[in-house]
Structure 1
Amino acid sequence: MDALVEEAAKKAAVAWVAVDGRPATLVWCAWLGGALLVVTGEGEQAVPALAEATTAEVSLRGDHGGRIVTFPAEVTRIAPGDEAWTELVPQLAAKRLNAAGGAEELTRVWSECCVVSRLTPAGASAGLPDDAQAAPPRPTAATRLPRRPFRLHKVRGATKHR
């Protein structure tokens, strides 16, 4: 495994995950057992097609917010009752911020209605591109035209002052 990938993943609280050529999605994650673990499903984050995927592309940021590594990952699902579930998912639940209930309750909820995916680095990290990789904002129904600012008093033009 690439040392840069492992070191960046150990420090990561979030990652950008792209599946099947779709735009990357920002997800919270944790590095446990030599892989990034990501929870998707009801009441958790949505990553289109991750639950069914076999591969993904993961980008991690550095301490100053800029991307430092992008790598291919093998995606496997951790099923409730598996040895990996018993070992890793309670640790993952303990790392979940702002969760309702404790780690045991969260583990139970995840087993009923969520998917825990393991993203294991598979191959060398890709070099960083030379361009900015900036993309235009995605269309959303959440945008609206801003209102004109409220003014308490009328503002007189500069030519009307005496």
Structure 2
Amino acid sequence: MLDAALRKAGAVWVVVDEHPARLVWTVWRAGALWVAVGPDEQEVPGLSDGVRCQVTLRSPTTHSHLLDVPAVAHRVEPDEETMAALAAARLNASPRWAEVYRLDPA
């Protein structure tokens, strides 16, 4: 169920420590959520390599709460396919990220 739900999610809420939740565009690949962040891109306060975070998925139609998933963030250098997938997920903007994180469900 987790795999199917996250595979369909284009955006999720991410919370790190006591920071406010942020809605971010993501891509589900290789059993993890990939998120691109940076000053000219979406920001996730507190997100860094090795940090624990919480991912919240809401229904795309009703916006009701579906599930919470604890995850661990890993800063990565994405391969070309992942970079293309991240760029495609940003339908209304050209990618300008500074960092890419892989959020592995814990």
TM-score, normalised with respect to structure 1: 0.58
Q: Which residue in the other structure is 2:41 paired with?
A: 44
The 1:90–1:28 alpha-carbon spacing in structure 2 relative to 1, beyond 3 Å, is same
The alpha-carbon deviation at position 24 of structure 1 amounts to 1.3
Matches within 5 A, 1:136-147: none
The higher-RCO structure (CA 8 Å, 6+ apart) is 2
* Matches of 1:52 and 1:33, distance apart in 2: 18
* Matches of 1:92 and 1:40, distance apart in 2: 11
Identify the structure with the greater strand proportion.
2
Amino acid of the residue matched to residue 121 of structure 1? Answer: P
Q: Which residue in the other structure is 1:159 paired with?
A: none
Give secondary structure in 2 for the equivalent of 1:98. Answer: coil
* Matches of 2:48 and 2:38, distance apart in 1: 9
Identify the structure with the greater helix proportion.
1
Give secondary structure in 1 for the equivalent of 2:81. Answer: helix
The alpha-carbon deviation at position 22 of structure 1 amounts to 2.0
Give secondary structure in 2 for the equivalent of 1:88. Answer: helix
The alpha-carbon deviation at position 52 of structure 1 amounts to 4.2
Preserved contact between residue 10 and residue 89 of structure 2 (Cα < 8 Å):
no
TM-score, normalised with respect to structure 2: 0.85
Q: Which residue in the other structure is 1:96 paired with?
A: 90
Q: Which residue in the other structure is 1:146 paired with?
A: none
Q: Which residue in the other structure is 1:25 paired with?
A: 22
* Matches of 2:91 and 2:54, distance apart in 1: 25
Amino acid of the residue matched to residue 102 of structure 2? Answer: R
The alpha-carbon deviation at position 21 of structure 1 amounts to 2.6
* Matches of 1:120 and 1:91, distance apart in 2: 17
Q: Which residue in the other structure is 2:12 paired with?
A: 15
Give secondary structure in 2 for the equivalent of 1:46. Answer: coil
Give secondary structure in 2 for the equivalent of 1:87. Answer: helix
* Matches of 2:29 and 2:53, distance apart in 1: 18
RMSD: 1.7
The 1:74–1:52 alpha-carbon spacing in structure 2 relative to 1, beyond 3 Å, is closer
Question: Number of residues paired by the alignment?
Answer: 105
Preserved contact between residue 27 and residue 85 of structure 2 (Cα < 8 Å):
no
Amino acid of the residue matched to residue 98 of structure 1? Answer: N
The alpha-carbon deviation at position 36 of structure 1 amounts to 1.0
